[in-house]
Amino acid sequence: MAILETGNPDTTSILDEITIEWVMVGIEGTAEPIPSGTMLLPIAPNPAKGTPVIIFGLPETASVEISIFDLSGRLVSEIHGDEYSPGFHDVLPGNLSPGIYFCRMTSGDFEATRRFVVIQ
């Protein structure tokens, strides 16, 4: 959705350019894409009811560690150094109590953190 607004009623807003990036995750009948680099996608759904899904992509086989921390910095869930093949993968951190969490993914030199919310 794009909302075009202007403060001047005598002018018309114009959309000059738009970029759309699409990652084919979970679409049947398509070849599985291989990302060009290691990535941690946004946690979905966000906010989550119960268990969110953590999706990440790897350009080559690599060991991945995922840690979930609560807002106070306490480690609440962890996936230790499992090795994954190239492509996109999803993992479930388990049922989490309502609150704000941080997901940290490390793989080799790559490190990324995403924030997400769990609600009842």
Q: Tell whether pTM > 0.75.
A: no
Please report, for the chain, the start and end positions of each structural domain, with discontinuous segments joined by +. 39-119
Tens digits of residue pLDDT in 81-110: 789 999 999 998 888 899 999 999 999 999
Q: What is the C-alpha separation between 43 and 47, in angstroms, rounded?
A: 9
Tens digits of residue pLDDT in 52-73: 999 999 999 999 999 999 999 9
Tens digits of residue pLDDT in 18-28: 766 655 555 55
Report the CATH number of the 39-119 domain: 2.60.40.2550
Rounded to the nearest 10 degrees, how much is the dihedral formed by the CA atoms of 113, 71, 53, 107? 30
